[in-house]
Amino acid sequence: MSERKKLDRRDFMRGAAAVAFTGATWAAVGEKTETKYWQLDPAKCTQCGRCTTHCVLTPSAVKCLNQFDICGYCDLCFGYLQPGSRNLDTGAENQLCPTAAIERKYIEAPYYEYKIHEDKCIGCAKCVKACLVFGNGSFYLQIRQDICINCNECSIAKSCPSDCFSEVPESNPYMFLTGDTHLAHPPA
Amino acid sequence: MKEPVRKTKHPYIVGACVAAIAGFYFYLVADKTKFPEPGENLVYDIKKFEDVDNVATRYKEGKPIVPTVDGPKAMEIDGAGNLFVGGKGAIAVYDASGAETSRIAVDGAATCLEFTPDGRLLVGLEDRVAVLGADHKTMATWSGFAERTLITSIAANAEEVFLADAANRCVLRVDYDGKVLNEIGKADEARDIPGLEVPSPYFDMAFDDEGSLWVVNPGKLGLERYRSNGDIVTSWYRPSLELDGFSGCCNPTHIAFNSAGRLVTCEKGLVRVKIYEVTAGSFEELVVGSKSFKVAQSVSDMVVDASDRVLVLDSRQKAVRIFEPEAPAVAKAVP
Ligand code: SF4
Ligand code: SF4
Ligand code: SF4
């Protein structure tokens, strides 16, 4: 009887160890198989231009977004206009964007909405830098997850000089701009 | 007997080595050159704009003051030369040597400060104004101006007070009970008023040495001079990346007058502090250029003291940086 009890206890310990091992393995495997996506942190980006040239896709999977609650809806938008342009018209020679991906739309005097046509955007970040320096900094880059093929090793991440790239969980695949946005005010 | 077996092994070893070296080469060089570096057309060059203000200045930077208030945002100097720095929940007071001498608790985040001619301190608290007596106790609070108000600057004379409301893009003229008398700067074609354009929460104003109110029209990159009743007297705009103009979508962010009646301006983005003759709007000299600041920075506030030192509240360094003129200030031109 006592022999049987001893065996039972040993069996129980073995069983517990097996369950613990299986659980740990399952957890480890589970963690590895959770889908992760590449994303860039706009707060770290220094607008070097490599997001255009170093993506395996042409055009790049990186696109510019406009965070409207930060945007000043400026008439003299430096993200839209070439620096020093005198004419506030939509002529190609006045536009900063190399692909004319930004649309300027009149809202009310003297405010304008700036919409990015992502199908034309090549992610060069020229508008991002200009808006950051001269405007409210509402333009920012993000990897569009519906376009990105989620390379094993993102080739932009390998060459990004500002260490912007990391893998983010499927449930939270974008990094929005943060900061004090309540003081900015789009037209009422 | 020959020994062919040993010989036939060499090509494999050599091949493997060549493959390894080639792989290493591709890893180091070829892989990196697979993508072209972005050319001129794909990169926004800031340096050429910074170089514009690479000119001599007679202002030298002195020892800064590091304010201890949380989120320093507003500055003002009293008649005795004490510096008041307002932030979240408090205003710290510094004497001429830069030592903190006292601290005043406020109910909210100070967005701007102004002394009245009789020594009361007006504290902008986003949508309210607290009136503090000489003992720094709150005497009154003015509020209920509009549904959405953001007071970014206060200018007071003996009779009335002007509040710059960035959210409503106008200046409120109020009496000393905080009652709104009229609004200044709303677009009005019949009165030739173009309308104040305020795309960001930077909206300043100041009295010149004759008591006239100068209001920044930041979206038009210039200044407008108003009468109390809201009539516009004169205006000038300088949209330009050159040193004599204001850059970006909305500048200057802060203005003040020095003892010679000259207008001192501060810009955001490319931070540049400059001096203008105010009536003509003509650029006179640079106080400090953009290379002294981080690009894409905005200064929290700027004041000029009785010795014409320009004090800049540097938002990145979280310090009051002091720029002192080496030679006497430019004399005011005789009209
Ligand atoms: S490579 Fe990095 S720093 Fe350059 S634009 Fe892309 S995210 Fe910004
Ligand atoms: S300037 Fe560059 S990043 Fe901005 S919208 Fe055009 S292509 Fe996209
Ligand atoms: S993971 Fe691949 S497709 Fe996606 S942004 Fe990086 S290089 Fe482009």
ipTM value: 0.75
Of A49, A74, A126, the CB nearest to B249: A74
For residues B52-68, average pLDDT: 94
B250's tokens: 């909305």
Q: What's residue A83's pLDDT? A: 81
% of chain B with per-residue pLDDT over 90: 75
Q: Is A21 helix (H, G, I), strand (E, B) or coil?
A: helix
Asked whether the predicted pLDDT for residue A176 surpasses 50, the reply is yes
Measuring CA to CA, how many Å separate B106 from each of B85, B128, B213, B258? 12, 12, 28, 29
Residue B317 has pLDDT above 60, yes or no: yes
Mean pLDDT (whole number) for B6-17: 58
Contact A54 B35 (CB under 8 A): yes
- pTM, two decimals, is 0.82
**In a 3-state reduction of DSSP, which class is residue B174?**
strand
The mean pLDDT value of chain B amounts to: 90
Give the pLDDT confidence score for residue B329 in this predicted structure. Answer: 56
Q: Ligand 3 atom closest to Cα of A56?
A: 7
Nearest CA owner, ligand 2 atom 1: A97
Q: Which helix (H) or strand (E) holds B191?
A: none
Query: For ligand 1, which residues put their CB under 6 angstroms from it?
Result: A 40, 45-48, 50-51, 125, 141, 156, 160-162, 164
Q: Sorting pLDDT into bands at 50, 70 and 90, what band is A7?
A: very low
Q: Residue A183 pLDDT more than 80?
A: no
Determine the pLDDT at residue A18: 53
Is B163's pLDDT higher than 50?
yes
The shortest C-alpha distance from B36 to chain A (Å) reads 6
Mean pLDDT of B262-281: 96
Decide the pairing of beta strands B161-165 and B151-156.
Answer: antiparallel
Note the pLDDT tens digit of each residue in A93-149. Answer: 889 999 999 999 999 888 899 999 999 999 999 999 999 998 889 999 999 999 999
pLDDT band of residue B45 (cuts 50, 70, 90) is confident
- pLDDT digits over A49-107, tens only? 999 999 999 999 999 999 998 898 988 899 999 887 666 677 778 899 999 999 999 99
Q: Are A47 and A140 in contact (CB under 8 A)?
A: no
Q: Dig out the tokens for A144 from the structure.
A: 């569009």
pLDDT digits (tens, 9 = 90+) for B168-208: 999 999 999 999 999 999 999 999 999 999 999 999 999 99
In whole angstroms, give the CA distance from residue B198 to residue B171. Answer: 11
What is the model's pLDDT at position A110? 84
Q: What is the mean pLDDT of residues A151-179?
A: 92
**Using an 8 Å Cβ cutoff, are A125 and A64 in contact?**
yes
pLDDT class of B288 with cuts at 50, 70, 90: very high
